[in-house]
Amino acid sequence: MPEIDFVSAIHKKTKRDYLGRVNEFPKAEAAKIARQFGKDYWDGDRKFGYGGMRYDGRWRVVAEAMANITDSNPATGFWTWAAGKVFCSTIFTQVVPGVEIRGLDISSYAIEKAKEEVRPFLTLGHANQLPFPDSSFENGHLYQYAAQSVCYDLDKALRELQRVGKKHRYLCVEMYRTEEEKVNLLYWQLTCRAFYTPEEWEWIFCRAGFTGDYSFISFE
């Protein structure tokens, strides 16, 4: 269960005004709106979420890094939550021609607004109950991106990720190492309900029997 980094390079490029985020609008109210995962979260004002998802190619480096460790071609890819808006887009299908994509998202809006060519491969659902048979991602890679996708029932979601994967599993979660990072995370996040230190995450992974790879992102 090694730590492997796909996303920190793109994550660190985003400039964040932590104090501005927490002071511009009541944080609790912003979180309530964001957790509806509708238009406000994806394509509304930045204080409610993404501030508008754009297919501008910035995530290509992430897709390329993921493709580099794929040992089968075409591969099978799976993402949750941001699936319809970011990863299950033409970016990954361009990087790995012939790739077979399956995406799961809790947001009907995200699926509705996904790229037309990948929309048929997206399913409405929750990470805590994946609509896939045991070991169904046998020949490729199973990726779960965004910590909030597992945090509503953390143990169950991790066990589901373990269940449907066969060989390669990957999870990206938020963490903090210092009190400053913890405060920044609390100021910035809207939907994440669980975040821990790296040591705590590793303990949680072991308790749930999760044996896949993982990445940590932090708010420095």
Q: Would you give per-residue pLDDT tens digits along the chain (220 residues)?
A: 678 887 787 888 888 999 999 999 999 999 999 999 899 998 999 999 988 877 767 777 877 877 776 554 445 555 544 444 555 456 777 777 777 777 888 888 888 888 777 788 888 888 888 888 898 876 555 566 554 555 568 898 899 889 988 877 888 888 999 999 999 999 999 988 888 999 999 999 999 999 988 889 899 9
Report the pLDDT value the prediction gives residue 191, as an integer from 0 to 100: 87
pTM: 0.85
All structural domains of the chain, each given as residue ranges with its CATH number in brackets, are 8-217 (3.40.50.150)
d(CA 172, CA 184): 18
Residue 100 near residue 29 (C-beta atoms within 8 A): no
d(CA 107, CA 102): 15
Cα–chain center distance at 16? 19
Closest among 96, 103, 102 to 64, alpha carbons compared: 96
Report the pLDDT value the prediction gives residue 68, as an integer from 0 to 100: 76
